[in-house]
Copies of this chain bind each other. A is one copy, B any other.
Amino acid sequence: MPNRKAVAPVLTVVETACSNCNLHELCLPLGMSTEEVEKLDELVSSRRRVKRGEHLYRAGDAFDSIFAVRSGFFKTDVLLEDGREQVTGFQMTGELLGLDGISNEQHSCNAIALEDSEVCTIPFSHLENLSREIQTLQHHFHQVMSREIVRDHGVMMLLGTMRAEERLAAFLLNLSQRFTARGYSPAEFYLRMTREEIGSYLGLKLETVSRAFSRFQEEGHIAVQQKHVRILNIAGLKKLMSQHTRD
């Protein structure tokens, strides 16, 4: 029985339904009645597969939908004319993509799959229509947007006031916490992104990231081999974040 890599995406429609999606907690439908969630099902018009390395959307693309990650892993980035890249975030299962596009009907960053992924497409005008009917949905959506702003402030803090090792520690702890929230091990995970992408996100060069990893390993905070990370001493990493002063 051959186990082919690329299975034809035939039956996807069947399971496309918020009402029986196991991402309730992480995605939009939170605290809504069953009835209301069923309305959402109409909202999520389709699913879409994005293969590793492919763009979900590009800066400049017309905006009409936001996306919820059903499975997989994404990065978003902004490119400067001179080629400089800033990774603005990594998105995993249950997280939303595309909120930046609302502001002027046009995406302002690129979203790229770091592994074969699948997203739910949520036409934005439908979402606005529905959220005029369902107060819970409206409020939850506002919270999601606000949370994104708060998250960005955290990154600004990281980039503005932390030194290299603090940044990486904060990054690993954040990943750990998000994996935990999804039922995965808090202490052991595979990084889907390269050192360069981590570096771009953290405002560091890949060599600096690599050195920080090595240092953490020497000091027994983590065991790392390429993309596989095991956190041995969470407390140690946390302490790392609050001892230096820089800037």
Contact with B along A139-155 (1 / 0, CB 8 A): 10011111111101111
- Asked if A191 CB lies within 8 Å of chain B CBs, one says no
- Asked if A99 CB lies within 8 Å of chain B CBs, one says yes
- Asked if A132 CB lies within 8 Å of chain B CBs, one says yes
Which stretch (A37-45, A78-86, A171-179, A212-220) binds chain B?
A78-86
- Please, how many residues of chain A have a CB less than 8 angstroms from a CB on the other chain? 51
Residue in contact with A155 in the complex, picked from B132, B156, B247, CB distance below 8 Å: B156
Assuming the A-B contacts A132-B135, A153-B108, are A86 and B161 also in contact, with contact meaning beta carbons closer than 8 angstroms in the complex?
A: yes
Q: Which residues of B contact A138 (CB under 8 A)?
A: 128, 131-132
Q: Which residues of B contact A200 (CB under 8 A)?
A: 160-161, 247
- Asked if A104 CB lies within 8 Å of chain B CBs, one says yes
Copies held by the complex: 2
- Whether B145 and A149, one on each chain, are in contact in the complex, defined by CB atoms closer than 8 angstroms, is yes
Q: In the complex the two chains form, what is the Cα distance from A202 to B85 in whole Å?
A: 18
- Whether B86 and A149, one on each chain, are in contact in the complex, defined by CB atoms closer than 8 angstroms, is no
- Near B by CB (< 8 A), chain A positions 169-209 give 199-205
Q: Which residues of B contact A80 (CB under 8 A)?
A: 157, 161, 242
Q: In the complex the two chains form, what is the Cα distance from A133 to B108 in whole Å?
A: 29
- Asked if A101 CB lies within 8 Å of chain B CBs, one says yes
Most central of A104, A133, A161 by chain B CB within 10 Å: A161
Closest chain B CB from A89 CB (angstroms): 9
Closest chain B CB from A221 CB (angstroms): 19
- Near B by CB (< 8 A), chain A positions 92-113 give 99-104, 108-109
Q: In the complex the two chains form, what is the Cα distance from A55 to B2 in whole Å?
A: 66
- Asked if A16 CB lies within 8 Å of chain B CBs, one says no
Q: Which residue of B lies closest to A132 (CB)?
A: B132
Q: In the complex the two chains form, what is the Cα distance from A161 to B86 in whole Å?
A: 7
- Whether B247 and A203, one on each chain, are in contact in the complex, defined by CB atoms closer than 8 angstroms, is yes
Closest chain B CB from A93 CB (angstroms): 20
- Whether B100 and A150, one on each chain, are in contact in the complex, defined by CB atoms closer than 8 angstroms, is yes
Q: In the complex the two chains form, what is the Cα distance from A242 to B84 in whole Å?
A: 10
* 18 A-B contacts (beta carbon < 8 Å): A78-B154, A78-B156, A82-B242, A84-B247, A85-B161, A88-B157, A102-B146, A103-B143, A103-B147, A132-B132, A145-B149, A149-B152, A152-B153, A155-B156, A156-B156, A159-B159, A161-B200, A203-B247
